[in-house]
Amino acid sequence: MKFNHLTRALLATSALTFSAAALAEGPDGSPDAGEAEVQVAREAPATNDELAAKAAFLEAQVEALQEQLNDLKSAMSKATPSWKGAPQYDDKDAGFSFKPKGFMQYDAGYVGTPGPERAGTVGGLNYNNLGWNNRARRLVIGAEGSLPGGFGYKFELNFAQGQVDYEDVVLTYQRPHSPIQVTIGNFYPLSSLETMTSSRLGSFMERTSFTDAFNYNRRLGLAVALLDPAQDRYTLTAGVFGQEINNASFNRTGWQASVRATYSPMLGSTKLHLGANFQHRVAQRDAQNVQYRSRPFTQITDQRFVDTGLIAADGDDIAGVEFGAIMKSLHFAAEAQQVWVRGYRPGHVFGVNNGAGGGLFYADDPKFRSAYAEVGYYLTGETRGYKGGKWDRTKVLHPFDQGGWGAIQLNARFDYLDLDERVAAGPIAAPNYVNGGKQYGYELSLIWNPMDYVRFMAQYAHGAFDGGPRSATVNPTSTTPVNRRSFDLDTFAVRAQLEF
């Protein structure tokens, strides 16, 4: 390095100066006469030009040293990562950044048994999969970063349940300060505030029922967004998607088109969220059917108490509205969605290679609906994070490792899902009636974030059900029509979560 060469030169100069002083001494240590004359000559007053030249030389040396120190500092800053849950490397001059990332979610809990306890599977309900259970909900590892020219990327793999699955795997393009962002890859298809918010940041352990019931999964697609980089007031995003990235079939003929718009103005000190979304979905040609069903507010069981079964259809259309508000430590959110099934009629002739794939034919097109409303409050003074039309990370004000209590949040939610629909007069069965059932959820959650990247959650939910495919199993002796037989159950679950 130049710095090392300069150091050697300074040391050599010092050595020569010392040697000259030693040679100037006589045998008895007194100055040599000849050398004394030279020394006197050297100590003669310098002219103004000589002094100016020396000053200029020294100033140039100082500037050279300062430049080398600046280069050294710049090199060290590029090699030293910042810390955002994991090391993040940035070279802003070149436009590169890289950050490894991941998170772990471990769940445990209890799902109650509706009605009397049974052995094994009865009426499609597996009693062995109720009660206590635990699982690794998500074990995700990946990386994200940026490339020169406005490109960015994110790559995430989920290893839960001993299998490899895909989370967000995307390439993005957005020039600095540009309102246009292009995303291509595997990601959620613009379906709701709940769905677009990361599962790491939700108010409850699982998203609201329509996310599960209406089959919202990541898909391979392309989306173009109009954003507000300066003030984050609006988003308008449209995209076209194929099927899931892990669909191993070569007959991936299903597709969908989606659009979502959000507007988030300030009303005094309150941040509002207003949104709407729409999706047009087309089923795969050789399995032209749809099915809507949902777990009871937790995924520590695979049992569903509301389920339409397979319905012959070429796809569906879904419309939703969104509302949210943040008032200091208090937040509120509500959404509603309705799905219209484009069903097939009896006698419908399918095209070549098309088929219902086991779906039942109904007399008319059914439609289903779902909604939720929630309220949450931070006991420790935090404000819920929000960015880009979705919930974002909340900054913990007084972390546990710094002597504080961390962030403590209480949430309550009412969740409604209606999968019943009469499409024609007649018996309560196909092709006249879809007995998917109604599900009502009354949920409470307590969340503790001791620091920004660690979360513990406890959740209780009381589920009330009307009708559905399990009502006759739960109440086999009831004389009430199966679509109105009611039952309920309780669930309790806890989660430990770590991000990096």
Give the pLDDT confidence of 281-330 residue by residue, as tens digits. 999 988 999 999 999 999 999 999 999 999 999 999 999 999 999 999 99
Asked whether the predicted pLDDT for residue 61 surpasses 90, the reply is no
What is the rounded CA–CA span in Å between residue 250 and residue 468?
35
| Residue 98 and residue 17 share a domain | no
- If asked whether residues 233 and 100 sit together in one domain, one would say yes
- Whether residues 451 and 394 fall in one domain: yes
In this structure, the answer to whether residues 376 and 416 fall within a common structural domain is yes
Our count of domains for the chain comes to 2
Q: For residues 476 and 492, which has the higher predicted lDDT (pLDDT)?
A: 492
Q: Which of 45-59, 69-83, 266-280, 350-364 has the lowest mean pLDDT?
A: 69-83
- Strand 390-392 and strand 121-122: the pairing is unpaired
Distances in Å between the Cα of 43 and the Cα atoms of 22, 40, 47, 51 are 17, 5, 12, 13
Domain boundary residue, one of 75, 96, 131? 75
- All residues at 6 or more sequence positions from 132 whose CB lies less than 8 Å from its CB, including other chains: 108, 109, 110
Q: Which of 116-125, 204-213, 331-340 has the lowest mean pLDDT?
A: 116-125
Q: Cβ contacts of residue 158 below 8 Å, gap of 6+?
A: 138, 139, 140, 164, 165, 166, 167
pLDDT of residue 10: 41
2: pLDDT confidence band, cut at 50, 70 and 90?
very low
Other C-beta atoms lying within 10 Å of the C-beta of residue 19: 10
Tell whether 51 and 194 lie within a shared domain: no
461 pLDDT band, cuts 50/70/90, is very high
Residue 172 pLDDT exceeds 90: yes
CATH number where 186 lies: 2.40.160.10
DSSP H helices in 336-481: 471-474
- Which residue from 386, 383, 413, 377 is spatially nearest to 396, judged by alpha carbons? 383
Confidence of residue 74 (pLDDT cuts 50, 70, 90): low
Residue 420 to residue 369: CA distance in whole angstroms:
9
Final residue in a domain of this structure, among 75, 108, 124: 75
More confident of the two residues 205 and 118: 205
Q: What is the pLDDT of residue 65?
A: 83
Contacts of 105 (CB under 8 A, 6+ apart): 136, 137, 138, 139, 199, 200, 495, 496, 497
Q: Are residues 101 and 57 in the same domain?
A: no
Q: Please tell me which residue, 116 or 235, carries the higher pLDDT value.
A: 235
Say how far apart CA 259 and CA 120 lie, in whole Å.
44
pLDDT, the chain, mean: 89
Q: Of 46, 75, 104, which marks where a domain is finished?
A: 75
Q: Predicted confidence band at 28 (pLDDT cuts at 50, 70, 90)? A: low
Q: What is the torsion angle, in degrees rounded to the nearest 10, for the CA atoms of residue 110, residue 114, residue 117 and residue 118?
A: -110
**Maximum CA extent, the chain:** 132
212-259 pLDDT, tens digit per residue, is: 999 999 999 999 999 999 999 999 999 999 999 988 878 889 999 999
pLDDT band, very low/low/confident/very high, at 94 (cuts 50, 70, 90): confident
Residue pair 105/141 in contact (Cβ under 8 Å)? The answer is no
Sign of CA pseudo-dihedral 200, 202, 206, 211: negative
Residues 17 and 145 in one domain: no
Same domain, 176 and 276: yes
Q: What is the pLDDT of residue 3?
A: 42
pLDDT at 5: 45
Domain shared by 7 and 100, yes or no:
no
Q: Are residues 243 and 311 in the same domain?
A: yes
pLDDT at 13 over 80: no
pTM of the prediction?
0.83
Q: Averaged over 473-479, what is the pLDDT?
A: 91
Q: How confident is the model at residue 76, as a pLDDT? A: 63
Confidence grade of residue 369 (pLDDT, cut at 50, 70, 90): very high
> Which residues neighbour 70 within 8 Å (Cβ) at sequence distance 6 or greater?
none
Task: Name the residue with higher pLDDT: 460 or 66.
Answer: 460
- pLDDT one-digit tens code per residue, 318-351: 999 999 999 999 999 999 999 999 998 767 777 7
**Whether residue 495 is found in the same domain as residue 428:** yes
Q: Which domain holds residue 137?
A: 81-499
Q: At 17, is the pLDDT very low, low, confident or very high (cuts 50, 70, 90)?
A: very low
Q: Are residues 62 and 121 in the same domain?
A: no
Q: What is the pLDDT of residue 9?
A: 43
Which has more pLDDT, 393 or 35? 393
